[in-house]
Chain A
Amino acid sequence: MQARLTVSDLACRRGDRVLCRGLSLTLQSGDACHVTGANGVGKTTLLRSCAGLLTPFAGTVESEGAVGLLDERMGLDPDLPLGRALAFWQKIDDCVDVDAAIDAMGLRNLLDIPVRYLSTGQRKRAGLARLIAQAAPIWLLDEPLSGLDTRAIDQVTALIARHCESGGIALVASHQTLSIAGLTTLELAEYAPRTEPEPTA
């Protein structure tokens, strides 16, 4: 698959505060980029801007290929059994092979359980299954590893690596270290606006 994500001279805003500015980034098929930075530095805002959900304060975001976003909101109905909640997105995505996604995330035994009874890690895996089934070339992952056990962390890291090997793009915001070949790192704090020195009276 051919995909591209181009961010040029982007400035992100949250409320009336500018979080980052002058950010340019080009990701081609096969690229993986790790966004790092302290809490509140604007990782989520950057990802949501890249997804086109937030209007950039300045600059542009262009993407070639469908975009899949995984954040803390999975979009799965809490009252429905996991199987049916995933089936809704399967219908929206026109996905034929949702079983592969369910098996890849080890959710086979959980399909009858309402989403609200799932643990944090299980819910995260359900969100990842939804993302895999979407089959979008560009993945924007906001803390994909938080709440996962060590085995699942390895699985998800391998999943991201495989996605990039097959021509996908991954932009991952995470506090954990990611062991993926060819991973570039974007230190978001470098793009924080300079604070003007206080004028001395």
Chain B
Amino acid sequence: MITALLKRDLARFFPFTGSGAALPVIFFLAVAMLYPFAVGPDAPLLARTGGGVVWIAALLAAILPLDSLVARDIELGVFDQLKLRGVTEEVSMAVRLAAHWLSFGPPLILATFPAAALLNLDGETLHILLLGLLAGTPGLAAIGLMIASLTASLRAGAALSGLLLIPLALPILIFGAGALARMDQASLGFVAAISLLLVAIAPFAAGAAIRAAREG
């Protein structure tokens, strides 16, 4: 049952199979491509600031899939039907979290390679950046899922969710991008810890939000 659910969610959200699901990756690469044009082809400057730009691009890319993440299935009554079959909101949200991360985390990490080339990042920076994104994107996915469920029943939910995600994602950004500034991996432990905490609470928070939305 869980496999069937995960398969459906992945088919919905995975790049190039779901509708518009490649958008976050394209957006991420577009930011990496535009940045050198905006600040000029100053290789040392790009190398120094590029890692931070990748982090910002990743954070903004995490906002894009939020509007369709939960609201659509509430409208379709999918969560109602799953509940009747004994699949609690927490379980369906845990599955959704996994599918959401799988469909934007790994593609973003892969897209970091061409982005690093565009921004003239050296090997060590890229290494820390990749580790940071690996540790941070699950946390971003968890924040995104919680916000998407909380704003699902609001009419301007999509616009609001973007604004809500940014402050909540700040700790991940500070420690993740901070590792690049000092070129040490120690603070990535913090990123991983924050992510772990967020991933642990997200299914419960999102599940409660869906139940609350149902009560109206």
Contact = CB atoms under 8 A, between A and B. Distances in A.
A71 B77 contact: yes
A75 interface: yes
Interface stretch (B44-52, B80-88, B125-133, B137-145): B80-88
B214 A53 contact: yes
Contact of A75 (B12, B19, B76, B214): B76
Interface residues of A, number: 29
Contacts of A71: 77, 80
Interface stretch (A18-26, A87-95, A156-164, A171-179): A87-95
Contacts of A74: 76-77
A147 interface: no
A69 B80 contact: yes
A71 B84 CA distance: 13
Interface stretch (B1-9, B163-171, B176-184): B1-9
A74 B80 CA distance: 10
Contacts of A15: 216
Contacts of B81: 69, 75, 89, 130
B13 to A, nearest CB: 12
B78 interface: yes
Contacts of B87: 92
Interface residues of B, number: 20
B80 A53 contact: yes
A82 B116 CA distance: 43
Nearest to A76: B76
Contact of B214 (A54, A91, A130): A54
A101 B206 CA distance: 34
B75 interface: yes
B178 to A, nearest CB: 41
Interface of A: 14-15, 48, 51-55, 66-69, 71, 73-79, 88-89, 91-94, 130, 134, 136
